[in-house]
Chain A
Amino acid sequence: MAKHATAQERLFALRETIAKLEGKTPTLVSEEPQGERMAATGKGSRRIALGVDELDAALEGGLPLDGMTEIRTCAMRNAGAGSGFVLALAALIQQQAKAPALLWISDRFSNVEAGLPYPIGLAQYGLQVRHFLHALPKKLEDALWLAETAAASGALAATILEIRGNPSAFGLSESRRLSLRAKAARRPILLLRHASEEEASSAVFRFHAEPGPAAERVLPNGTMLGGSIGFPVFRLTLEKSRNPAPLSFLLEWNSRDRQFCPARQPEPSRLAGDATAHSGPRLPASADGSDRAAALGRLLAFDRAS
């Protein structure tokens, strides 16, 4: 009997290790009713829900607050969408954090291309600008050191690191270092990569961000103001996660209420080469004029030519 108990114990420890490796809370895998023990040993990672049920389910509860999340754009022209999504996440985190300070570590080239963060715009976007710090390091090594130090200090609600492309100086080992720091200090790092390829990294999740057409502004009576530009919409693809396939969705950031909601319009069908679904001309049938000329000759139903 005693031997059986030891075997059970070992089996249990192994299960717990595997669960940790997979990043799940051990309670999810345990079938045995050993609840109180779980509560004592297993500390689940802290998550922040994005408020969209479908997405939160895909993210297993939300964005990890003790890890690194990567947001990438495929081209520099999408910098607005990438920055917008990152800052929306930061606003969500800042809202709930005890220490509200945010640090944006920018990349010089991206600043020239896409502009510097603009505080009034940030405030309207839902961030507390009083607690917004902006860093302009000269080199990538400095930026990495800064991100590491900032995350490890635990003084910030979130650290945003902006990088352009896939520099060789920021490889797998550097990203691993960053995510370990984040894990140790239990503070999130948001990695914003402009104009980059998909690359293996130790980020927990990776999003691909593109801009989507914004919905129209909602008037107080519930109708839409035609031709207006409302809250920003992002076309996001969850590229790296535990889901078997990448997940695409349209998300709207409501900067007034500081929350995400699924965008209302359906996703337009995306065919290769941006071709429209109905390739023929869609002219209305003429109503009050003469009909088109009938085809000349007689129409015969021939058999297939043999």
Chain B
Amino acid sequence: MRLTALDEVATELGLRHGQGLAEARAMYPAIDVAEEDPTADRALLEAIADWCDRYTPLVALDGSDGLFLDITGCTHLFGGEQALLDDILLRLFQMGFKVQGAISGSPGLSWAICRFGHGGVIEDGGGEEVLASLPVASLRIGGETIAALNKLGLKQVGDLLSMPRAGLARRFGGHLLLRLDQALGHEEEPISPRRPVALLSIERKLAEAIQAEEEILELAARMALSLRASLEARGVGGRVFELVLFRVDGRVFRISAGASRPLRDPQKIAGLFTERLKSVHDELDAGFGFELFRLNVLQHDLCEASQDNLLGKAEGEAPLADLIDRVSARLGEDVLQAFQLRESHIPERAVFAHPALGHEAETGGKPYPAVMTERERPLRLLARPEPVEAFAAIVPDGPPSRFRWRRVLHDVARAEGPERISPEWWLDQETAQERDYFRLEVASGHRFWVYRQGHYSADYRPTWHMHGIFA
């Protein structure tokens, strides 16, 4: 076992990364060792990234121990770059993290200054000067390249800056120059934010944290009211909303809710969250309260403006869409399903279920595209065909005269069939067998849909399956 991370005391004692645990213990028997847990570290980093959402929506993870924040256009909200950096570092320090931070014109430069310099804000144009005194490792290049550079006596970035570029590229490849250009800001380097940027967003910072569910909902309704003007200006209504709650101690909760049609009405938007809050009730631990709220519109759609009538109710209210929204918000989108048909003869493939949320058919728009079969189909179809013990009365194509399903013996009174359904060779393997379906009525009056897979032959006995139940 080897050491992978050290705290300040251990560093002062002279322990190193990659040192054997036994060796370290022999030097200092009193050291405290905790096993590395990469998943927990990752979760912690993501929690901090969530928390950093309060500064900017563009937060990207950097390796296992860093974060990139794109603060373009955000700094004035916090009183300038220096004030923003101080605020982040102070708050994180109060939470118990030792963090190094830097603000500069390019991600590469910030990375270099954070890890090899002293941090702080670097003004535009000052990058080259700061970078020159840093070791070449600060360029985010591989270990082999660093070793090769050091061998040649190129220890600092400043040494590279004075070298001819052509020679460097020939010797060390284009990657080194790319990194150098990225650090100096000559080359654009995008960061990849963890979450999609909200289309519209509104934020409320509270002087006093709130805990009660009703207060949260009231606030959501008020934010939705402020959002209404922006939605109307764009001529759209929101389809997917997200309420982000920042708890006082830094934990962040995200609650998203979808609507089946574009929404603008603040009461309806708040209504979505009423159901959502009820369903996430146990997970939403208010603790000492929430201090910062944000309402995001993650997805929106065109929405015709409708005029309210004199009673204050808009024309064309859709109670079914409201119901679908409420149910989907409370129980999840997968709970409520609608059906679509598909062109297929295989019974289980001819139909598929999809969430009713966003389903166009019930609004009367889309007709059924696929053609339905004329042959009789059961009311209820088993999720998987179940094996049946049966023998055909008339070989090879007859229905069974009696069969055993779920350990109950049924005597067949009447039978209709067979209806032969061939496998879809372009999806199934070519060895897939044909199915012969029979409608059976047994002596007790139950009606079943049974099929035989394959054909009887001298050396093959096909299997029988129960597939559906008729009324």
Contact = CB atoms under 8 A, between A and B. Distances in A.
B351 A135 contact: no
Interface stretch (B146-154, B217-225, B374-382): B374-382
Interface stretch (B234-242, B291-299, B305-313, B439-447): B439-447
A129 interface: yes
Contacts of B361: 130
A118 B377 contact: yes
Contacts of B468: 115, 118, 121
Interface in B350-370: 350-351, 353, 356, 361-362, 368
Given A99-B320, A115-B380, A123 B337 contact: no
Contacts of A235: 445
A116 B380 contact: yes
Interface stretch (B17-25, B43-51, B87-95, B324-332): B324-332
A14 to B, nearest CB: 38
Contact of B414 (A101, A131, A155, A228): A228
Contacts of A85: 471
B339 A87 contact: no
A119 interface: yes
Interface residues of A, number: 58
B85 to A, nearest CB: 47
Nearest to B440: A229
Nearest to A253: B471
Contacts of B470: 80, 84, 121, 232
B319 A155 contact: yes
A210 B471 CA distance: 10
Interface string A88-122: 10000000000101000000000110111111111
B323 A149 contact: yes
B335 A136 contact: yes
A184 to B, nearest CB: 14
A117 B338 contact: no
Interface in A194-222: 210-214
Contacts of A211: 444-447
A77 B469 CA distance: 10
A262 interface: no
B471 A153 contact: no
B335 A135 contact: yes
A140 to B, nearest CB: 13
Nearest to B381: A118
Contact of B469 (A115, A136, A142): A115
B362 A130 contact: yes
A133 B469 contact: no
A61 interface: no
Contacts of A124: 372, 376-377
A135 B379 contact: no
A133 B445 contact: no
Contact of A123 (B319, B372, B378, B416): B372
Contact of B447 (A114, A210, A229, A253): A229
A78 B382 CA distance: 15
A191 interface: no
B383 A119 contact: no
A132 interface: yes
Nearest to A129: B339
B27 interface: no
A227 B414 CA distance: 6
A124 to B, nearest CB: 6
B414 A83 contact: no
B381 A115 contact: yes
B83 interface: no
A11 to B, nearest CB: 40
Nearest to A127: B379
A131 B323 contact: no
A156 interface: yes
A150 interface: yes
Contact of A134 (B337, B378, B383): B337
B408 interface: yes
Contacts of A118: 347, 351, 377-381, 468
A131 B320 CA distance: 11
Select the residue from B322, B326, B446 with max chain A CB neighbours within 10 A: B446
A133 B337 contact: yes
Interface of B: 318-320, 322-324, 326-327, 330-331, 334-339, 341, 347, 350-351, 353, 356, 361-362, 368, 372-373, 376-383, 408, 413-416, 439, 441, 444-447, 468-471
Nearest 8 pairs of A and B residues by beta carbon: A84-B471, A115-B380, A155-B319, A211-B445, A118-B381, A155-B320, A232-B471, A121-B377
8 contacts: A83-B379, A115-B469, A121-B380, A130-B368, A133-B356, A136-B337, A229-B441, A234-B471
